[in-house]
Amino acid sequence: MKNEYFSYNLEQKEATTYQSHSQTFRNYAIGVSVIASTVRLIIS
């Protein structure tokens, strides 16, 4: 019983870690595209 609970906890932790990583990546991508369009506006 204890082992099952432990492995379930581990899976949950990995899932949340993955979610926060993808969230960070999405924010990073948004930031990059905003900077890119700003630069394009300045150049043109």
pLDDT for residue 41: 93
Say how far apart CA 9 and CA 29 lie, in whole Å.
30
Say how far apart CA 27 and CA 12 lie, in whole Å.
23
Domain ranges of the chain: 1-44
The predicted model scores a pTM of 0.53
| Helix runs in the chain, H state only | 2-43
Condensed to tens digits (0 to 9), the pLDDT of residues 1-44 reads 567 777 778 788 887 887 888 899 999 999 999 999 999 999 98
pLDDT for residue 1: 57
pLDDT for residue 35: 95
pLDDT for residue 40: 94
pLDDT for residue 30: 94
